[in-house]
């Protein structure tokens, strides 16, 4: 009864969809973690106004559904003259989303860095900027690395929603294939396995990067 | 002018008056031990000497530089005042060598090659030349503290502040750190130690400053202070610790 061979003609579509998901995830992870790092630093060291602004951003994103954020960016923003392509809107939504969640994760890492480490760096004459990038940041990331890895994978999996604004990602490909071939079971099963494999690949990539970043201690998740 | 000039310094933590008019002058080459009960203000005084703590009244001048907790001033003072902490505070993600090279490269703008040579030289001084590429996690507490001393020395400070640097060590590791200090003292390094090592304070130190209730209660040449304490507070303190 099951027939996977019916999917064969669509293999290119699946691979293209996977590629879109991979590229979106790649940019969203790099950009989102950068936003999260900047916001975490702002929330940890900044003044009252900055801390308040970042706190509002984080709470706004963490307490609303991703799909609503996505629809607001893609369907809502054009009303005030900001028109983005589906791909741009999808990426922006992922960036903003991961940025907010990773802000809180990275902030926990910054807060867990012993104050004495900072003092040791200051009395050696390092500037605040140097203290942050050379002394605080890497140990902070080390502490929260497993949580950050999971959050990036969650955002990758959540990116399936961008198919709803016609970004031709992996889920979009699955929808298309099942509507043409009527092989829903097979199409979604294959795509689910592809997501699973990609998620495992991501975790391993993070671990590989972690081993290089935190050389002094083997990171195990 | 003395290397360290502390003039009528007062410090408050909120309503708590922790330093009550401290006067202290330290000449280049002197080894001064600050002793006293916990809460007497000795660590606070030490931390005021390089701007880690702010003080509210009076003045501190070290190596002709006004000491304040202003960010820029702390950075400027880092070239004159080195500090070693009770908890070592090595940077865990950097090797021993990288720990030592970090500030010379970033602050003194040495090249990697010069910084490496400097690190090798300072590590050699503390007897850990072979550990240059190890991570701090792989070292014993005594070794980590010796690396911390080497790291401070790499900035060629005029005075080295040591804040209870043997207090976190296992008893059998204390000796190796004290030997490094003794060697530095014999080379003419100016040392200011907050310490509970009374034997070291008496035998290696030139001067002892006994702090009590936020004041310099009694001070003088090390041996004299231990042999003939004049105040009852110092007498009871010496009896309690020796």
CA distance B155 to chain A (A): 7
Question: Which residue in B102, B149, B159 sits closest to B128, CA to CA?
Answer: B149
Residue A4 has pLDDT above 90, yes or no: no
pLDDT digits (tens, 9 = 90+) for A70-117: 999 999 999 999 999 999 999 999 999 999 999 999 999 999 989 999
CA distance A30 to B136: 30
CA distance A4 to B32: 83
CA distance B158 to B29: 9
Is B122 touching A (CB cutoff 8 A)?
no
Check residue A217 and give its pLDDT.
61
CA distance B230 to chain A (A): 36
The first and second tokens of residue B127, run together, are 């007897």
Question: Which residue in A200, A97, A116, A190 sits closest to A153, CA to CA?
Answer: A200
- The chain B residue lying nearest A134, using CA atoms, is B102
Going across the sheet that includes B215-221, the strands are B81-84, B159-163, B190-194, B31-36, B207-212, B215-221
Count of Cβ atoms closer than 10 Å to residue B42 Cβ: 26
- The chain B residue lying nearest A117, using CA atoms, is B89
Whether residue A216 and residue B81 make contact (CB cut-off 8 A), yes or no, is no
Which residue in B92, B93, B107 is closest to A125 by CB distance?
A: B107
Helix/strand/coil for B205: coil
Is B136 touching A (CB cutoff 8 A)?
yes
Is A126 touching B (CB cutoff 8 A)?
yes
CA distance A175 to A168: 10
- The chain B residue lying nearest A119, using CA atoms, is B52
Check residue A8 and give its pLDDT.
84
Domains identified in chain B and CATH numbers: 4-80+158-241 (3.40.50.300), 90-156 (no CATH)
Whether residue A124 and residue B137 make contact (CB cut-off 8 A), yes or no, is no
Mutation target among A119, A120, A129 for the B interface, most CBs of B within 10 A: A120
Is A45 touching B (CB cutoff 8 A)?
no
Count of Cβ atoms closer than 10 Å to residue B144 Cβ: 25
Helix/strand/coil for B119: helix
- The chain A residue lying nearest B161, using CA atoms, is A123
Domains identified in chain A and CATH numbers: 8-213 (1.10.3720.10)
Do residues B158 and B3 lie in contact, with contact meaning Cβ atoms separated by under 8 Å?
yes
Mean pLDDT by 10 residues, chain B (242 residues): 93 93 94 93 94 94 92 92 95 95 96 96 94 93 96 96 93 92 94 92 92 94 91 92 81
Is A212 touching B (CB cutoff 8 A)?
no
Residue A219 has pLDDT above 80, yes or no: no
Is B65 touching A (CB cutoff 8 A)?
no
Check residue A1 and give its pLDDT.
72
DSSP letters of B66-92?
E--S-HHHHHHHTTTEEEE-TT----T
Check residue B1 and give its pLDDT.
80
Whether residue A124 and residue B91 make contact (CB cut-off 8 A), yes or no, is no
Chain A neighbours among B 138-177 (CB < 8 Å)? 148, 151-152, 155
């Amino acid at each position: 009864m099951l027939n996977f061979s019916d999917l064969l003609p669509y293999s290119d579509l699946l691979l293209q969809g996977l590629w879109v998901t991979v590229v979106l995830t790649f940019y969203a992870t790099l950009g989102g973690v950068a936003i999260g790092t900047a916001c975490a630093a702002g929330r940890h060291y900044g003044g009252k106004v900055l801390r308040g602004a970042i706190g509002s951003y984080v709470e706004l994103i963490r307490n609303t559904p991703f799909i609503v954020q996505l629809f607001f960016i893609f369907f809502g923003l054009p009303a005030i003259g900001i028109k983005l392509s589906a791909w741009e809107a999808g990426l922006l939504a992922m960036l903003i989303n991961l940025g907010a969640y990773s802000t809180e994760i990275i902030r926990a890492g910054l807060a867990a860095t012993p104050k004495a480490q900072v003092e040791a760096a200051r009395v050696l004459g390092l500037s605040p900027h140097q203290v942050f990038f050379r002394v605080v940041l890497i140990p902070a990331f080390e502490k929260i690395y497993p949580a950050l890895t999971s959050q990036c994978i969650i955002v990758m999996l959540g990116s399936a929603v961008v198919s709803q604004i016609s970004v031709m990602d992996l889920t979009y490909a699955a929808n298309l294939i099942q509507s043409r071939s009527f092989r829903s079971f097979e199409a979604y099963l294959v795509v689910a396995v592809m997501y699973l494999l990609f998620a495992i690949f991501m975790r391993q990539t993070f671990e590989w990067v972690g081993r290089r970043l935190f050389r002094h201690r083997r990171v195990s998740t | 002018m003395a290397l360290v000039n502390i003039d009528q310094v007062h410090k408050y933590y909120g309503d708590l008056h922790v330093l009550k008019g401290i006067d202290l002058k330290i000449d280049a080459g002197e080894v001064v031990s600050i002793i006293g009960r916990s809460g007497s203000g000795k660590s606070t005084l030490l931390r005021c000497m390089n701007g880690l703590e702010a003080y509210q009244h009076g003045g501190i001048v070290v190596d002709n530089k006004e000491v304040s907790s202003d960010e820029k001033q702390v950075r400027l003072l880092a070239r004159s005042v080195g500090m070693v902490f009770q908890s070592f505070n090595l940077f865990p993600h950097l090797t021993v060598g990288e720990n030592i090279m970090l500030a010379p490269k970033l602050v003194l703008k040495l090249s990697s090659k010069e910084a490496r040579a400097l690190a090798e030289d300072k590590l050699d001084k503390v007897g850990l030349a072979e550990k240059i590429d190890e991570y701090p996690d792989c070292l014993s507490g005594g070794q980590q503290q010796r690396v911390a001393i080497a790291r401070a020395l790499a900035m060629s400070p005029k005075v080295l502040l040591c804040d209870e640097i043997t207090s976190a060590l296992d008893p059998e590791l204390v000796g190796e750190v004290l030997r490094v200090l003794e060697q530095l003292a014999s080379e003419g390094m100016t040392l200011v130690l907050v310490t509970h090592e009374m034997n070291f304070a008496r035998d290696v130190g030139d001067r002892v400053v006994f702090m009590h209730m936020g004041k310099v209660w009694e001070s003088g040449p090390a041996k004299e202070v231990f042999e003939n304490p004049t105040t009852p507070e110092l007498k009871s303190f010496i009896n309690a610790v020796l």
